[in-house]
Amino acid sequence: MKPAMETAAEENTEQSQEKKGCFECCIKCLGGVPYASLVATILCFSGVALFCGCGHVALTGTVSILEQHFSTNSSDHALLSEVIQLMQYVIYGIASFFFLYGIILLAEGFYTTSAVKELHGEFKTTACGRCISGMFVFLTYVLGVAWLGVFGFSAVPVFMFYNIWSTCEVIKSLQTNMTTSGDQICVDVRQYGIIPWNAVPGRACGPILENICNTNEFYMSYHLFIVACAGAGATVIALLIYMMATTYNYAVLKFKSREDCCTKF
């Protein structure tokens, strides 16, 4: 029989080896995490949620402002109401699509990262796998260009509301300084093309415009459009990160699948 001290030493050695093996396993698993895709997924989900949620509420508030102050006849803004309602349905579709697409890209990131770093044995990939990775690269590039357009489009209502808000600030400053009356300072919404030229009243001047700026609908819609624009910008950044990650992984997979490849990254 072995002495008690020798047996205890062997048990301690086995425990240290188990701890070391567990530590190495954890490091190996962490090495397979696609951190770029993970950051891009979180940023994409946050940006799309801000854009869709804030944009939906802001569009509803915009319709309310137009109906109450700039276009009292419902037939004048009937087309605009239909377009806004259609945009709200499109927002539902965008949110659902990007939720699924973000999960798929994250899963694809785990697959390609594991393949590139050879975490599960010898490097193996198929033509089908490389084709799927290339398809995601192309689709992400297309979505990135499309979201640049969405980001630019989301800045339009911010510009419009900023013009109205700055005009109200001018009226308030004139009243504070007691220099002149602000009754002649007006904002004509018809010049933006969102309602026809025959819409009545179509514009607001002086104290009426100031009252509009003080309403909760205007305040909320203005700031929600700003947040929606920021969400669209965050989504563009997320797609740029996706593009870099997927392009790099696809290029490495393509290179390492060559028969004459002898370099390991």
DSSP string, 5-55: HHHHHHHHHHHHHHHHHHHHHHHHHHHT--HHHHHHHHHHHHHHHHHHHHH
Helix axes 127-177, 35-65, angle to 10 degrees: 40
CA–CA separation, 155 and 153 (whole Å): 5
Instruction: Note whether 101 and 215 are within 8 A (CB).
Output: no
Q: What is the pLDDT of residue 238?
A: 93
Give the per-residue pLDDT at 58: 92
Alpha carbons 103 and 40: distance in angstroms, whole number: 11
Give the length of the chain. Answer: 265
DSSP-assigned beta bridge partners for residue 187? 204
How far apart CA 91 and CA 95 sit, in angstroms, is 6
What is the pLDDT at residue 136? Answer: 84
pLDDT score at 3: 52
Give the pLDDT confidence score for residue 147 in this predicted structure.
92
- What is the pLDDT, as a whole number, of residue 54? 93
Is the pTM higher than 0.85? The answer reads no
**Any long-range contacts for 172-176 (C-beta under 8 Å, 24+ apart)?**
172/210
- CA dist 133 and 170 (Å) reads 55
Q: Which pLDDT does position 36 carry in this prediction?
A: 81
Instruction: Assess contact for 41 and 226: CB atoms under 8 A.
Output: no
**What does the CA dihedral 177, 183, 185, 186 come to, rounded to 10 degrees?**
140
Hey, how many other C-beta atoms are within 10 angstroms of the C-beta on 4? 8
| pLDDT by position in tens, the chain (length 265) | 445 444 444 455 555 445 556 666 666 565 566 778 888 899 999 999 999 999 999 999 998 888 888 888 877 778 888 888 898 899 889 888 998 988 888 887 777 766 555 544 455 566 666 777 788 888 989 999 999 999 999 999 999 999 999 988 888 887 777 666 667 888 888 888 888 888 888 888 888 888 888 899 999 999 999 999 999 999 999 999 988 888 887 777 776 666 544 443 3
Quick one: residue 229, left, alpha or beta (phi over 0 = left, psi -120 to 50 = alpha)?
alpha
